[in-house]
Copies of this chain bind each other. A is one copy, B any other.
Amino acid sequence: MASIPTVPPGKGAPASLSGAWSDQSGCPFHDLRRRLRTVGLRPTRQRVGLGWLLFAKGDRHVTAELLHEEAVKARVPVSLATIYNTLHQFTEAGLLREVAVDGAKTYFDTNVGDHHHFFIEGENVLMDIKGQPVELAALPEPPEGMEIARVDVVVRLRPKKRS
């Protein structure tokens, strides 16, 4: 029996969960398991549990430690080592994206699409920039023999100082 959390902490189960359990297409668990298999990862208890924590709540930015805490709270038995393994495997599989912002800890973003980030210094909070996409006026010319793999934009924020 799965030690998958009955409901992700924070909000209620998505609407699609309430109905068809036998129906493959609408069941988050089955979708997740199928998705893992598709990218070549065996849907083990902890991978499914972590996937559930990561993907059921919309866009998220987690560190290994944070995810571990959530897993513990959600009764998903998993070790820190496995958290790291899983995070990296998900990243290689294109399910997550790694974001480097402050050298101290590594953040993983469940939003794999093309977008950039706000980072609140001091609070260590990372968030997607929403609204119209942030675009560069012009892409710089890469050096000979190199090509652009990705462009990361981090807008660092600080509390507005008040008089």
Contacts and interface: CB of A to CB of B under 8 A. Distances in A.
A150 interface: yes
B145 A134 contact: no
Contact of A134 (B101, B140, B150): B140
A35 to B, nearest CB: 26
A137 B140 contact: no
Interface stretch (A2-10, A14-22, A65-73, A155-163): A155-163
A1 interface: no
B156 A153 contact: no
B155 A143 contact: no
A21 to B, nearest CB: 26
Contacts of A161: 147
A136 B118 CA distance: 14
Contact of A154 (B143, B152, B158): B152
A141 B146 CA distance: 33
Contacts of A138: 132, 134-135
B137 A129 contact: no
Interface string A110-141: 00000010101100000101011011111111
Interface of A: 98, 100-106, 116, 118, 120-121, 127, 129, 131-132, 134-143, 145-161
